[in-house]
Amino acid sequence: MTHPDKPYFSRQAKLSKLDLVRYYLAVAPGALAGIEDRPVVLKRFVNGAEGEVFYQKRAPGGRPTWLRTVTLSFPSGRTAEEIVVDDAAGLAWMVNLGCIELHPHPVRCGDLDHPDELRVDLDPGPGVGWADVRSVALEVKQLLDEMELRGWPKTSGSRGMHVNVRIQPRWTFSEVRRAALALSRAVERRAPALASSKWWKEERHGVFLDYNQNAKDRTTCSAYSVRPLPDARVSTPLDWREVPDCEPADFTVFTVPKRFAEIGDPHAGMNAASGSLEKLLELAAKDEAAGLGDAPWPPHFRKMEGEAPRVAPSRAKSTPKTPRTKMPLVVVANSPDKAAAVAGLERWKSKHAHIAGFLAVDDVLVDSMRGRSSTWTRIRVNLRHVPEALRPPQETPDPDDDPTREWRTRRAAK
C-alpha cells in the first residue's frame, strides 16, 4: 500500500486508507460475492470521499500481474479492458487506488452479453422519507414473488434501496431492461402515490424505480460497498424480515464488520436462486399491447426502435395532438462537489426568499450528472407553483462548474 495514513473520510467519520482496507478485508467474503468473476469499473476518489471522483473503465497499465482483465464492448462501439477482482488482495489493491465503492457489471466473464442479475434501484426524490422507500421495496417483493423470482434487498448506502434478482443468463441486456421497465410500471400501478417509473424528473414523485440501471454499461454499487457520505455508510445486504424496521444510518464501516461476523452474509444463497424472466416479459408484452411503448434510455445510448421521444416534456415540441406543457425550470447550481451545489441552492433560496412558500418538496431537482469519466451535481428549481409575476429569471448558476462543458463545446464545433 502507498500512503496508508492518507485520510479517506474526515468530516464526520475519521478513516484512513488503511482503515478502509481493513474494513473490506473484514467483510471480504460478502464483498467478493458481489464482484467476483465480473468486470469492474474503478470509481476513484483519489483525494478521499470529500474530493472529486472519476470513473476509470480501462485497467491501469501498472496493475499487478495476478489481476485478471476482460474486454467489454459498449453501446458507443468502443471497447475497454476492465479489471476482474476475485480475491481479498484485489479488494485491497482497488482501495489503494482510491476506490471507495465497488461497481461491477451484471455479467460474468464467461458471457458478457447476457446478464445474470436484474437490478431494481429504488431512488427517492427530494424530501421523500425512508418509510416510503421501505414500503415500495415490499411492493417489489410481492410482485417478484408473483413472478416466481426471488429478490435480495440491500440498503443503497445513501437514501435508497436496491433489490437484486439473480436470473438465468439467457436474455440480452435489452430484454433484461424491458423486464425491469415492466416491473417498474407494475409497481407504480400498485402504489401510485408512492412509486414512479417516469424517467424525467419533472414528471416523477415519490420513489423512482430506475429501470435504466439494467441498460448495458450501467453499474451500481454492490454489496458491502462503502459510500462517500460523512458517516461512511455501507450498502448492506438485508433479510426481508429486516426491511420494515431497518434504518440506513445503522450500517456503517464501524458497525457492519461486527454484524458480518455475527450473522454472516444474508445474501449467501443468491447464486443458488437463479430465476426466469418469462413472466416479467409477458407482463411487458401486455403493456406494449395496451399502448405503452418503450421508455427513454440513458442519454448516451442511440435512439431505440419504439422509444418515446428522448426529450423532457417541458422541452418537447408542441403538436396539435400533444400540446406542449412547458415547465418553468431554472438551473441554480452546477458543481463536481455536491456540497458546493447544495450551498449554491441555499444562496439562491435566500436571494429569492419571497417565493419559498410556493415551492413543494419535489420542485427541487437534484441531478447526478455523469459524463464519460466525471460526475457532477446539477440543481434545478421548478417554478410551476410560483405565480408567474413572481418567478425569478434564469441567472448564471452559482457555482457554475460543469466539467463536460469544454468537451461538449469542442464536439459541437466539430
* Confidence (pLDDT) at 401: 87
Amino acid at the residue 132? D
Strands 207-209 and 195-196: parallel
Chain centroid to Cα 414, Å, comes to 32
* Start-to-end C-alpha separation, the chain: 43
Give 10-residue mean pLDDT values along the chain (414 residues): 95 96 98 97 94 92 93 86 96 96 97 97 92 97 98 96 98 97 97 93 90 94 97 98 96 98 96 96 95 85 70 62 67 90 92 87 80 78 90 92 72 68
Q: How many CB atoms lie within 10 A of CB 14?
A: 11
| DSSP 8-class letter at 275 | B
DSSP codes joined into one string, 132-172: HHHHHHHHHHHHHHHTT--EEEEE-SSS-EEEEEEB-TTS-
Q: What is the pLDDT of residue 194?
A: 95
Which grid coordinates belong to 290?
395496451
State CA 159 to chain mean position distance.
Answer: 11
* Alpha carbon distance 63, 99 (integer Å): 14
State the cell numbers at 382. 421548478
- The verdict on pTM exceeding 0.85 is no
Q: So what's the pLDDT on residue 317? A: 63
